Structure 1
Amino acid sequence: MSVIKPTGIHSKPVTSDAISYYIDYWQVGNQTTPCDRMRSQWILSRLFPRGLRGKTIVELGVGAAGGLIRYLKEDNTVFGLDASVAARQTCERMGLNIQIRNIDREPLPFESESIDIVFAMEVFEHFASPQYVIEEIYRILKPSGMLVISTPHTLIHHWPRLFYPDLFEPEAFKEFLMINNFGVNLQDGIGPRVYRDYYNGDDAIHWSWLWQCRKLTDGDAEKFLEHGLYFWNKKNSHGIRLRPMEAIDCFRRCYELEPGHLEARLMLARSLMYHYVQGGPAEFADHYNFLTRTMHSGRHPYNLLAQYHFAMMYIDFAKSGFPGISEKDFQSALAMLRQHPEGSDYLKRIVDHSSSKCNEM
C-alpha cells in the first residue's frame, strides 16, 4: 500500500486509499457516488433500523449529494443548510429544500424546540466557532431531540481548514458534547467495513467517528450527575484533577433539577471547595453547612455519605495548603465512620486518598 504525506496539519502519513475515498466522496455533480450511498445506508440502518416517519429533520452541510435527508424526504419533513450555491442547486433538483447559510455566525432559521433530529455529517471540523453551532443546535432541538454527528478521525485528516484538531479526538469530542448538555447514546466508527469497496486491509482504521446524542433537559438529573462524576474523576498521571469546574457545573445542574438529590448536593459541596480555595462564589458555605448537618444526622445511609465526603474534603484542603476544615472536625467524622458497621469501606478509601502523595489541586 502506498503512503503519501497529508495535505492538512497532521504530521502522520495517510494511505492513498483514504485520499481516493475523499476524492470520490467530494466529487461535484448531481450523481450520488457508490461511496455516498454505502455510507448513508449504513448510518441510517445503524441508527434507525425501523426507519423514520413523521419527523422534522435538519441537516447541516448537506453537500451536492443531498446528504442523509435525500433518503428521508418521502416520509419526513426535511430541511438542509449549506454554504454552497452549487450544492443547493443540485439538491433542489432532487426535490430538497436547501437554504444558503453561514452556520458559523448566523442563527439557524428554525424556532426553538421545533426539530426532532439534526444531522451534521463531516461539517464540525470546518466551523470556526463550533461552540456557537452546538448551542444553536441545542436551541432548535425539541426536548430529548436527537443530534447525529460524524467527525474526522484525526489520524488521517487532511483538511486545509481544521480549526481545532484536538477537539476531534474521540474523548475530547465526547466531553464537548457533555459540556453542552448532550448525552452520548452511541459512538461508532465509519470505516472499512462501510467502505468495503475502497479498502480491504486487516490493519484498517476508522475514517471517521459517528455520534448519536440526545438533548438533555429538565428530566435528566441523573444524567447530569453521571456527567459530573465523569469530570470529577478525570485526573492526570500525577493524580491532579483536570476538570473540576465542569464537574461543579454538572453537579449544580442536577441539584437544581432535583433539590432533594442528596448525592448531587454532597458532591456539589465537596467540589465547590475548588471555587472556595480560588476565591470563588460564596455558595460553598451554604452547601458546606448542609454537609455538616447531614453528617451529624441519624439519616442512614446519608450520614455515612456526608461523613465520607467531609473527610475527603478535609484531605483535599490539606493537600492544597488551604486551612478549610479543622483537624478536630476531621477526626470527629472518622470516629463516626468507625462506629458504624458499614463504615469500613469508606475508611479504606479515605486512607488511600490521604496516603497519596499527589497534590490534587
Structure 2
Amino acid sequence: MTVIEKEIVLEPDRPIIDPHHHLWDWRAREPHKPASRYSYDNVLHRTPRYLAEELLADLNSGHDIRATVHLECGSMYRRLASTEMAPIGETEFVNGVAAMGASGVYGDRQLCAGIVGYADLSVGDRVAALLEAHMMASAERFRGIRQSAAYDVDPEVIEPSPPRHSGLYCDAQFRAGFRRLAPLNLTFDAWLLEPQLPDLIDLVRAFPDTMICLDHAGTPLGIGSYSGRRAERFSTWRTSIETLAKCPNVYVKLGGLGMPYSAFPSFMAHPRTSSVQLAEEWRPYIEVCIEAFSPARAMFESNFPVDVLTCSYATLWNAFKRLAEPYTDTEKHELFFATAARFYRIQIDH
C-alpha cells in the first residue's frame, strides 16, 4: 500500500463545486465513547468542531473549490422549538456561514451556496410549515431536504449512525410529506444502505417530477454481517444503480466511500493511504455510477468532515481527479462542477 501524508495537488486550476459537506460543533455535548473501530463517534472524536474556519482551511488546501453545498447533520437545532420545527435552527446557522462567504472577506469561495435541510416528512401534510420556514430562513440558498433512511437488522451495521426504522421511503405518511417537495421546487437527497436501494427505486418511480439525488454511491456495506461480502454483493448493488439511473429525475453523488460502512482497507489506515490507492479501492463503484448515470447526472462529493477518517480533503479530491482521468475535459467539468451547479441551481463563474 502506497503511503503519503501530503500530496501535490493535481489539476489545481480545475473548478470544483463540493456538493456535500457538513458543519457542526459538538464540543459542548456529552463526550462520545467509541464502541468500536467502526463507530460513527470516531468522527466526532477526530473532528468535534467543523465550522467556517475549518471548512475554509480545507477549501484553501490547494484545489479550486468555487462553491459548496451544506447537507443537514442535526447541527444547531433550535433548543426551544418543537421537535418538528427545531431543524430550522440549522438552516439559520448555515445561512449565516453562507453570508460570511458571500461577504468576500474570506476570498471568492462561496461557502454553503446551497443548503439542504432536514424535515421529518413522515408527519405528512404538517411538514408544509417547516418547509416554508426553511425557505424563509434562506430563500436565496435553500434547495431541498434530506431525510436519511439508513437501516439494517444487524445492529453492528447501523451502529455508526442513529437508529431508524425499516421501510421509511415506502411509508404512506412519509410519501404524503414527500409530495410537498416538487411544488416548492425542492430537491430530495436520499441516504440509505445498499440493501435498501429497492425502496428508493420504488420511491423515485412514484414521484417522477421530484429531483432526487442518491448520496454516497448507494453506500455499499462491508461491516457487521456484511464483512468480507462487498465483492459478493457488488452485482446486486450494480443492478440497483443501473435501475435507478433509468429514472431521469435521479442523480448520484460519487463519494462517501471513506465512511465506516464500506470498510475499505484505507479506512482509518495508519499511515494514511495515498490518493492512488484510494482511487483503486473506489474505482469499481465510481465507474459503474458514472457509466449508469453519465457525467451529466453524477457529481463528486467530499462528505467532509466525515471522510476525514480515511484521508485529508486535498487527498480526497486528488483521488477523484485520478478516477476522472479516462474522461474528456467536458465530462470532467460535468463531474466536478456543472452537474452540481444544475442540480442545486448554483450560479457561479467557472
Report the TM-score when normalising by structure 1.
0.31
TM-score normalised by structure 2 residue count: 0.31
Q: Which structure carries more relative contact order (alpha carbon 8 Å, separation 6+)?
A: 2
